[in-house]
Chain A
């Protein structure tokens, strides 16, 4: 009997250790990635002057390492995508959660999930073969491979994320809020606009943040359709010209760069920049969620 108990105890301890090590290894891997990024990227700051890094020309072969065209390209494509995806995504979420009849909801929800699982290469291909020629003809552009094309496709990629997170948030607004607003003589639309959406505000914001995060990190699609010209975006007109994002630069050039060279280090510096941006977006998003949790705790108490 005594042996049996000690065996049980050993087994218990073994499982606890396994779970603990799985948890700690996740932290370890993130730290390792971070260490690797820093150790490969930071030397660039010593090798290239800050003045050169803040230049407007990205010609690594001639040792011009200006990052501004890449940053502006990323910003332009991402902001464009956000401006397109947010209204459509939130609008669709409101429709699915509040307006659509049950049978439509039952078709739309899985459909959105499927859309979210579409590989970005496939979307890129569609953009390359169909969207960009159509844009070139209809908007009378020199080329259909523009920042705007990238924005449209990135919007298509982030919309499913926005819809499903925002829809969850709207869905979790208590039924009683709607009853209360309706019982006060609000119309259905007034209830959605003034009560349901504000009540789900934090979740809807999180949806937006996750959508933006998705758009910033996306590589394949933008590389296929934005034309990849590292030109500084200094006017709105540049939206309809080719552009180059930070992600696409890393993906396109990492394969042919000499390991340990200046160019190699600068590419990792761009990686650090991307890492920082997505860190900021994620921290902001979780801060918003945290605030929401505190609010709901206060309501429940």
Chain B
């Protein structure tokens, strides 16, 4: 089942630094899709187009179509200027490369999104806090100090908190932009484990920080090079049997 369909998507920045050309790809629901490729290939730009965070950057032109098929049967035209961006971002959540804890307590970080969405009942908020922390494999470590500032957590814990914060919103899609690039191997494996845990209920799009990570977690993989989608394939195919020479060179470590 397709969750997000991207058709003929073009994007150019004002300074011409980086752009995406004619991207067409389907992102399957309830699975981990991986965008890989060397830096400057446009992976993050594409990711940020999916919840319109690109609105904040100096984008000169965008064309094509990106549609999100909601669980309630509704289809959202993501690029349509009329689309309610705030509602869209509640459905399509994002975790960034560097853990960004908001200047609030641990609990405050988790309930922030729900509170701005209008949820006030304490028991519901409390449930959301515990559920999301457990999904992100952080509950055992922080359950006794939910009111401490989130900035006091270690880097790995902060990143799992960011994941939990996204999960608390119960979005349908979670975008992760190199979520483990600043983490040690143990924290990385914890994050990857919780991704495997939650992929049964969420659509996950991940920009990995290494080919190895891509190979470990990918249910579907797409290879981007200098703004073009070179190749996309389900499961381990892209890593075992790449059809394009450039993909092969990249996954075998000849460049990148």
User: Which residues in A have some Cβ–Cβ distance to B below 8 Å?
Assistant: 174, 176-187, 190, 194-195, 198-199, 201, 295, 298-299
Knowing A180-B162, A181-B102, A181-B112, the reply to whether A187 touches B86 (Cβ < 8 A) is yes
Q: Which residue of A lies closest to B155 (CB)?
A: A301
What's the nearest-Cβ distance from chain A to residue B120, in Å?
14
Contacts of A194 in B (CB 8 A): 112, 116
**B186 contacts A by Cβ under 8 Å:** no
Complex contact A184–B100 (CB within 8 A):
no
Chain A residues positioned under 8 Å from B165 (CB to CB): 184
Complex CA distance for A200 and B191, rounded to whole angstroms: 30
Which residues from chain A contact B162 at a C-beta distance below 8 Å?
180
Q: Do B102 and A298 touch (CB < 8 A)?
A: no
Contacts of A183 in B (CB 8 A): 51, 53, 89, 93-94, 96, 166
Indicate if B39 sits at the interface (CB-CB under 8 A): no
Shortest Cβ gap from A207 to chain B (Å): 17
Question: CA of A185 to CA of B86 in the docked complex: distance in angstroms?
Answer: 5
Q: Would you list 27 pairs from A and B whose C-beta atoms are within 8 A, ordered by A residue?
A: A176-B96, A176-B100, A177-B100, A177-B103, A179-B53, A179-B94, A179-B96, A179-B100, A180-B94, A180-B96, A180-B100, A181-B102, A182-B53, A182-B89, A183-B51, A183-B53, A184-B112, A184-B165, A185-B86, A185-B87, A185-B116, A194-B112, A195-B102, A195-B112, A201-B103, A295-B151, A298-B152
Which residue of chain A has its CB nearest to the CB of B162? Answer: A180
The 3 closest A-B pairs by CB, nearest first: A184-B113, A185-B90, A183-B94
Which B residue's beta carbon lies closest to that of A191?
B116
| Chain B residues near A (Cβ < 8 Å) | 51, 53, 56, 86-87, 89-90, 93-94, 96, 98, 100-104, 112-113, 116-117, 151-152, 162, 165-166, 169
Residues of A within 8 A of B98 (CB): 176
CA distance in complex: A185, B89 (Å): 5
CA distance A195 to B104 in the complex (A): 9
Residues of A within 8 A of B53 (CB): 179, 182-183
Chain B residue nearest in CB terms to A199 = B103
* Residue of chain B at shortest CB distance from A190: B116
Chain A residue contacts of B89, Cβ below 8 A:
182-185
CA distance A180 to B151 in the complex (A): 15
A180 and B163 CA atoms in complex are apart in Å by 11
Q: Which of A184, A186, A190 has the most CB of B within 10 A?
A: A184
Closest Cβ of chain B to A98, distance in Å, is 12
- Among B51, B96, B112, B151, contact of A299 (Cβ-Cβ < 8 Å): B151
In the complex formed, the residue of B with least CB distance to A296 is: B151
Q: Are A186 and B113 in contact (CB under 8 A)?
A: yes
- CB < 8 Å neighbour of B169 from A176, A185, A199, A201: A185
Chain B residues, Cβ within 8 Å of A186? 86, 112-113, 116
Residues from chain A with Cβ under 8 Å of B169 in the complex = 184-185
**13 more CB-based (< 8 A) A-B contacts, given A184-B93, A299-B151:** A176-B98, A177-B102, A182-B53, A183-B96, A184-B90, A184-B165, A185-B87, A185-B117, A185-B169, A187-B86, A195-B112, A295-B151, A298-B151
CB pair A174 B100 closer than 8 Å: yes
Could you say which residues of chain A place their CB within 8 Å of the CB of B86?
Answer: 185-187
Assembly CA distance A295 to B96 (angstroms): 22
CA of A280 to CA of B102, assembled, Å: 32
| Chain B residue at minimum C-beta to C-beta distance from A184 | B113
- Distance from B48 Cβ to chain A, minimum over Cβ atoms (Å): 9
A182-B102 Cα distance, complex, nearest whole Å: 12
How distant is A181 from chain B, measured CB to nearest CB, in Å? 7
Return the contact of B103 from the options A178, A179, A187, A195 (Cβ within 8 A).
Answer: A195
Interface centre among B100, B117, B151, B166 (most CB of A within 10 A): B100
Residues of B within 8 A of A201 (CB): 103
Q: How far is the CA of A181 from the CA of B89 in the complex (A)?
A: 10
Q: Determine the distance from Cα of A182 to Cα of B98 in the docked complex, in whole angstroms.
A: 16
Least CB distance, A97 to chain B, in whole angstroms: 14
Report the nearest A residue to B115, measured CB to CB: A194
Q: Report chain B residues within 8 Å CB of A182.
A: 53, 56, 89
In the assembled complex, the Cα of A295 lies from the Cα of B149 at a distance in Å of 10
Docked Cα-Cα span, A182 to B165, in Å, equals 13
A197, closest chain B residue (CB): B103
- A181: chain B residues at CB < 8 Å are 102, 112
Nearest residue (CB) in A for B151 is A299
The residues of A that contact B103 with a CB separation of less than 8 Å are 177, 195, 198-199, 201
Query: Residues of A contacting B104 with CB < 8 Å?
Result: 198
B140 to chain A, nearest CB (A): 23
Expressed in whole angstroms, the minimum distance between the Cβ of A201 and any Cβ of chain B is 8
